[in-house]
Amino acid sequence: MALTPSRLLSITVCLVLSAYAFVCYTTVQLVIFPSMGPELTTPLVLHLSAFSAIALLGIVSYAAAVMIDPGSVPPGWMPDAEENNDMAVQEVKSDGGARFCSKCQAYKPPRCHHCRICKACVLRMDHHCVWIANCVGQHNYHPFFLFVLYFLVGCAYALYLLINQLLQDIDSLEDTASEAQERDRRRLPHQSFEISWDSLYRIFTAILVLPLAIGLGVLFCWHVYLVLHNKTTIEYHEGVRARWLAKKKGQLYKHPYDLGIVRNLITIFGPNATSWFWPTLQSPGGDGLSFRTYLHLSTETDRSVGLDEEVRLETRTDDDDFISLGHKPVIH
């Protein structure tokens, strides 16, 4: 698996790591330790262990998504004519020929697209992510998904601890004000608005974490949807046009790579469910050059009900080629 550690030095990556490190430091030093007291108690150990584990998994997943090459077409790769003839679903140009990238001067496998930023064709390209200074593709989609998951959990956990500590700070201020009022009413205004620097840091961190958690939550939900349907972001937008073209012809469109929830999870994350939540350097989802389609699973059923007509659906891709998904109509 090709690694590019130099991407860790890009401005956006350094910005993300710095912001996350600040959130982790503030949460541990100014929330977990102060709220649990000076002694090593069981709640302190549990919170510290859980938050540290989540933060570590997030950092490792993020670094893997940044450094791992998303996947490129092997030099000299050619589409297998015999295999293409046997496939129920093919990705071809509008003239029926194999997809060819005029910029890379090479053939493109199914689900492969050219990234104008990376200046390369990326296997099973999802999108180019500025926050990892890299494309999200076949080989780094798994760590990218885990990075979003663990950063979301880490931010939500930090926000919970921050809000809980800030509520304790408010209670402490109210108690201080009540005591001061009894001692000397003239000191009450000064005591009631006395806020420590630690509290200000907590407030600033909470303001920083809240939009991050919301943004990560939306992104995570979006990719959960994509994973459950075995789609990429590009394929989702292609599917909108394909569905429209199918509707014009009185047919129903189905995403060709949607194998069902369980098979989709295995296809993307691998057959070993215990490894789904651990970032690895090896792509668990195949080589990115060929993919199973739902028609591989339902060919016999389709033939038994006489679904022999193929439908050509054309949708515009990242360069000026077209992608045609030859598939049989779906009856629900």
* Integer Cα distance of 231 and 233 in angstroms: 7
pLDDT category at 316 given cuts 50, 70, 90 is very low
What's the chain's average pLDDT? 81
pLDDT of residue 115: 96
Give the residue from 119, 117, 143 showing the smallest Cα distance to 3. 143
Question: What are the extents of the domains in the chain?
Answer: 1-68+140-228, 74-128+230-332
* Integer Cα distance of 151 and 211 in angstroms: 13
Give the residue from 70, 61, 59, 96 showing the smallest Cα distance to 3. 70
Concerning whether 129 is annotated as a catalytic residue, the answer is yes
pLDDT category at 192 given cuts 50, 70, 90 is very low
What tens digit of pLDDT does each residue of 99-133 get?
A: 899 999 999 999 999 999 999 999 999 999 999 99
Can you tell me whether residue 199 is helix, strand or coil? Answer: helix
* Integer Cα distance of 162 and 206 in angstroms: 6
Cβ distance 302 to 95 under 8 Å?
Answer: no
The answer to pTM > 0.85 is no
Given 101, 112, 115, 129, the catalytic residue: 129
Q: First CA to last CA across the chain, in angstroms?
A: 41
- The length of the chain is 332
Q: Is the pLDDT of residue 242 over 70?
A: yes
* Integer Cα distance of 299 and 117 in angstroms: 39
pLDDT category at 326 given cuts 50, 70, 90 is very low
Angle at which helix 42-67 crosses helix 11-27, to 10 degrees, equals 180
Can you tell me whether residue 294 is helix, strand or coil? Answer: helix
**Residue range 204-212: mean pLDDT, rounded:** 94
Burial class (CB in 10 A: 0-12, 13-18, 19+), 8: middle
**Residue range 285-293: mean pLDDT, rounded:** 87
